[in-house]
Structure formats: C-alpha cells, structure tokens
Amino acid sequence: MTSPSTPSVIAIDGPTASGKGTVASLVAGALGFHYLDSGALYRLVALASENQGVNLDNEPALGVLAAKMAVSFSDGKVFLEGEDVSEAIRTENMGVRASKLAVYPQVRRSLMDLQRSFRMAPGLVADGRDMASVIFPDAQLKVFLTASVTARAERRYKQLIAKGISVKMENLLQDLQERDVRDSKRGSAPLLVAQGARVLETSELSIDQAVKRILDWYQSASC
Ligand code: DC
C-alpha cells in the first residue's frame, strides 16, 4: 500500500500501437495528473546512440548513455541535449531500435530513477511495458491496454499516412509482430499483464470509451 502522502499512479501497459499513449495522456488531462510516456525514453536512447555512433550490441555503452543523456519534457515536446526531437524519435526506425536496446538490463536500470521522478502530486499516469510490474508496482490502478494486431496495424497505418509518411501495410504488420515478440519474450521486464492489472481490449472501443472506462475504474479504486 502507498502512504497517503505518496502521489497516486495509474499504470497503463500494452503492446506497440495499442493506443495507450493517446488514452493515457487523455486520462492524465482529465484528472489534472502528470504524464509519463516511458517509451519516449527508450526512443531517446535509440536516437542518442545513433547520433553518437554507439552500436546496438554494446550494452555497457548504451547503459552509460541512458544514464547520462540530457532529456527534458516541456509543453508536450521532448528535448535531447536542448534540441527538440519530438518528431525524430517517432519514426518506425527509432521504435524498432528502441525495442532492440530495451532488452538490456543495464539500459533499463539506467532509466529507472528518471521514470520514478515523474511521480509528483497530484498524481501520475504512466504508460509503457513495465509500469505496473517493475517501475510502479504499488500503482493504485493497473491497466493492460491491448487490441488485435490487425486493429493496431490499421491504426498505425492511418497515423503515418496522415503525417504524409508512406508505408506498406504488410511491412507494418511484420514490424509490429516482431516487436511484440521481442518486447514480450525478453528476460528483463517483459511486457506482461501484471498481477492485479485489469485488461482493456480496445479493438472495438473508441478512444473516448477507453478513457471513460479507465476513469471509472480509477474512481472505484480510489473509493
Ligand atoms: O511505446 P513505444 O512504442 O514508444 O516504445 C518503444 C519501445 O521501447 C518498445 O518497443 C519497447 C521499449 N519500451 C520498454 O521496453 N519499456 C517501456 N516501459 C516502454 C517502452
């Protein structure tokens, strides 16, 4: 149990393109809570390591880089060493690279304190893969948000096309499936339904319906 002075956390985990980022930030907005997009941190390590020419098989160097990189978040934007990299970290390439370096325990350890530092009053909504299982095991509400792989690929396809990025559906499906396997089968903090988590299947739900369900669950959990 958390003490009354510890700010509340809602942990929302789920696979790639499950919509958890959109849903989590709307839940945070509705409650006036802070928001942590933990995937952005892994994507930042991916970008920083590419910029610095650090190889993906060099776990110690990636761990040091993750501990030392200067990151900040402001007005919904992400900065690396003072540069706005909000768009640069969102590419499919950075997502795949992030998933590959996220298997390393040294990288995960380096990002642990940074993630926990987002827990501030009046509360936090945190999304990722191990928010409920590892980073905030005492979260007031744990949600595992998911959708079928086809629904997720279609959502991602529409997002990318809307941004003017051309992409083939079959490549997208294959990337998603490979990332699902890598994120779920790794030894360190794999994606899983944490003990006590409630599963929210969103293939047939609108964003508003998913947000409302989580707000209702949070209200019942806080009573
Ligand atoms: O949520 P995302 O697609 O932005 O995350 C990118 C990658 O980062 C994801 O494939 C796995 C990794 N990740 C992780 O291992 N643990 C987290 N808490 C968040 C993301």
Domains and CATH numbers, the chain: 8-222 (3.40.50.300)
Q: Judge contact between 132 and 142, C-beta under 8 A.
A: yes
Task: Please report the atom of ligand 1 found closest to the CA of residue 42.
Answer: 8
CA 162 to chain centre: 22
Task: Please report the atom of ligand 1 found closest to the CA of residue 102.
Answer: 15
Across the beta sheet with 198-201, the strand order is 34-37, 123-128, 8-13, 141-146, 198-201
How much is the pLDDT for 91? Answer: 87
pLDDT in tens, the chain (223 residues): 455 579 999 999 999 889 999 999 999 999 999 999 999 999 999 999 999 999 999 999 999 999 999 999 988 899 999 999 999 999 889 999 999 999 999 999 999 999 999 999 999 999 999 999 999 999 999 999 999 999 999 998 998 888 888 889 999 999 999 999 999 999 998 999 999 999 999 999 999 999 999 999 999 988 7
Q: Whose CA is nearest to atom 4 of ligand 1?
A: 39
The CB of 39 under 6 Å from ligand 1? The reply is yes
3-state secondary structure of 142: strand
How much is the pLDDT for 100? Answer: 95
Distance 51 CA to ligand 1 centre (A): 19
How much is the pLDDT for 23? Answer: 97
205-218 burial code (b ≥16 CB/10 A, e <16): beeeebbebbbebb
The CB of 179 under 6 Å from ligand 1? The reply is yes
**What is the pairing mode between strands 123-128 and 71-74?**
unpaired
pTM here? 0.93
How much is the pLDDT for 198? Answer: 97
Q: Judge contact between 185 and 208, C-beta under 8 A.
A: no
The CB of 128 under 6 Å from ligand 1? The reply is yes
